[in-house]
Every structure is written in structure tokens, then in C-alpha cells.
């Protein structure tokens, strides 16, 4: 049973990293949404499994939130927004899938070399989940910087959040996990509402403040 518990948890966490890679190379908006729904489904299964093996029933709430909000409501809402904004045919330029994937692989290697040695004292399950969750977070960051579209950026952010939920459930007995996942859901709901209300199509071309200042002329 112990061995099985570990293997299943390992499968879900590894699956999450794999789905993160799939997010990296999606160039169609709807494809991206579907893969994100899969990402959320995998994280909710992983959390539910942790709830089961750690005998921590409150984690089922987190799993439920992940499933209902992130695997169903948000993708449906974003689907509508994409149609409404007329960007459903957009093919996003990701800037060299090969290079992005290589960078992703390097990030996973980095997170494993960082996390495994320092968590030697923790249990196997925690160690591996933490290494995987750091990989998911870094891949999400990579996705956020390699995309220009506001919707894709949000999906990148939500995948970071899924990685954090995985880390929080892996830290055995951590209090406030449910509260934190609720707080995160509020952020995400607000972002989605923001995009919808303000019709933010493009990420503003750059986060470089000087460029922004120049565009705006005198200000």
C-alpha cells in the first residue's frame, strides 16, 4: 500500500510537469485552454490523492476548488472571452518551440538539482513533489515571459498556482492550505473579470518601463 501510494502520487506529480511542457508548445488558443483544463484536472487528482494518503480531509476542499474553478469554470469563461475578443483564430508566435522546450528541460534539471539535496531530511514523497512543483512553477514563469497574449499569460500564472498547490499539499500537515487556495482563486477570478471587462487583448508589449514611458510621449 505504501509503495502504491508513493507511485500514484509520483505519477500525478510527474504528469503535472508533463502537462506543463504541453502548455509550452500550444500555439492555438483553444488548444491552450484544453491543455490547461487537463493541468487543473491532474492537480486536483494529485491533491485528492494526497488527501487520501495523508488522511487530511480538508485537502479534498482544495481538490474540489481546483476541479470546479480551474478545470471547469475558468476554461469555459476564458473560452467565451476568446470568442468575444475575436482572438480564437490567433496563432501565437512563441519564438522557437525548440528553444523554449530546451529551456524548459534545463529548468526542470535545475529544480531537481536544487530541491533534492536540500530536502534530504524530508520523506521521499515530499522531496519529489517539491522538485516537481518547483519545475511546474519555473515552467509557468517561462510560459509567462514567452507569450504576448494576456489570456496565455493568465494560463501561465494559473499553472504556477497549480504548482504551488502541489507544493503546499506535499508539505505534510501544512495549515491554511485551503485558505491559501481560496485566496488564489479570488485573484484568478479577478484577473479573468479584468480581462473581460477591459478587453485586454495583448500583454502590453514589454514590461520595460522606459519603453512604456516613451510610447506615451510626454508623461
Partner 1 sequence: MDDYGPLLVRLVLIVPTCSAALLAYFPDDRATGRLNAVASFITFLASTSLLVVRPAPTAFLIVDDVNVVFILLNTFVGFTTSVFSASYISHEIETGRLTPAYLRFYHAMYQGLMFSMNLALLANNVGLMWVAIELATLTTVLMVGIYRTPAALEAAWKYFILGSVGIALALFGTILVYLAASSAAGEGLDAMAWSVLVTRAAEFDPHLLNVAFVFLLLGYGTKVGLVPLHAWLPDAHAEGPTPISAVLSGLLLNVALFAVLRFKMVMAANPGALAPGPLMVALGLLSVLFASFMLYRRHGIKRMFAYSSIEHMGVITFAFGMGGALANFAGLLHMAFHSLTKSAIFFSVGHIAQIKGTQNMTEIRGLTVSHPVLGWGLVLGVIAIVGLPPMGIFMSEFLIITSTFARQPALAIALALGLLVALGALLLRLNGLAFGDPVGSDARSQASFIPMFAHLALVLAAGIYLPAELVAWFQYAAGLLG
Binding site for partner 1 (CB under 8 A): 114-115, 117-119, 121-122, 126, 130, 133-134, 137, 141, 144, 150, 153, 157, 160-161, 164, 167-168, 171-176, 179-180, 183, 186-187, 190-191, 194, 198, 200, 203-204, 207-210, 212-213, 216, 218-219
89 or 139, CB closer to partner 1?
139
Nearer CB in complex with partner 1: 89/216: 216
Residue 34 vs 144, nearer CB to partner 1:
144
CB of 98: closest distance to partner 1 in angstroms?
25
Nearer to partner 1 by C-beta: 4 or 207? 207
Count of C-beta atoms within a 10 Å radius of residue 134: 22
Question: Please, what is the minimum distance in Å from the beta carbon of residue 176 to partner 1?
Answer: 4
Q: Which residue, 200, 209, 95, 203, is CA-closest to 146?
A: 95
For the bound state, the minimum distance from the C-beta of residue 178 to partner 1, rounded and expressed in Å, comes to 11
Is 5 buried (19+), middle (13-18) or exposed (0-12) by CB count in 10 A? middle
CA distance 211 to 204: 10
Give the residue with the Cβ less far from partner 1, 66 or 150: 150
* Secondary-structure breakdown of the chain: helix, strand, coil percentages, each rounded to the nearest 5: 80, 0, 20
| CB 150, min distance to partner 1, A | 8
What is the CB neighbour count within 10 angstroms for residue 95? 11
What is the four-CA torsion angle of 5, 61, 188, 179, rounded to 10 degrees?
-100
3 alpha-carbon distance from chain centroid = 28
In the bound state with partner 1, the residue whose beta carbon lies nearer, of 51 and 137, is: 137
- Alpha carbon dihedral 211, 215, 216, 218, in 10-degree steps, equals 80
d(CA 16, CA 109): 15
Nearest approach, Cβ of 214 to partner 1 (angstroms)? Answer: 10
Smallest separation (angstroms) from partner 1 to the CB of 104 = 17
Place of cell 487530511: 56
Amino acid at each position: 500500500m505504501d509503495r502504491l501510494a508513493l507511485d500514484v502520487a509520483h505519477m500525478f506529480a510527474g504528469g503535472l510537469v508533463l502537462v506543463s511542457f504541453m502548455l509550452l508548445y500550444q500555439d492555438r488558443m483553444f488548444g491552450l485552454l484544453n491543455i490547461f483544463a487537463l493541468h487543473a484536472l491532474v492537480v486536483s487528482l494529485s491533491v485528492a490523492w494526497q488527501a487520501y494518503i495523508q488522511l487530511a480531509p480538508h485537502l479534498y476542499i482544495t481538490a474540489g476548488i481546483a476541479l470546479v474553478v480551474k478545470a471547469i469554470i475558468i476554461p469555459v469563461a476564458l473560452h467565451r472571452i476568446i470568442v468575444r475578443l475575436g482572438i480564437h483564430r490567433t496563432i501565437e508566435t512563441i519564438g522557437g518551440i525548440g528553444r523554449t522546450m530546451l529551456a524548459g528541460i534545463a529548468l526542470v534539471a535545475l529544480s531537481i538539482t536544487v530541491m533534492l539535496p536540500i530536502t534530504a531530511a524530508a520523506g521521499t514523497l515530499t522531496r519529489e513533489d517539491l522538485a516537481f512543483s518547483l519545475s511546474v512553477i519555473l515552467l509557468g514563469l517561462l510560459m509567462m515571459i514567452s507569450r504576448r497574449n494576456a489570456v496565455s499569460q493568465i494560463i501561465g500564472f494559473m499553472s504556477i498556482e497549480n504548482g504551488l498547490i502541489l507544493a503546499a499539499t506535499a508539505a505534510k500537515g501544512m495549515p491554511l492550505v485551503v485558505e491559501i487556495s481560496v485566496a488564489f482563486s479570488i485573484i484568478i477570478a479577478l484577473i479573468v473579470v479584468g480581462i473581460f471587462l477591459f478587453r485586454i487583448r495583448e500583454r502590453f508589449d514589454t514590461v520595460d518601463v522606459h519603453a512604456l514611458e516613451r510610447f506615451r510621449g510626454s508623461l
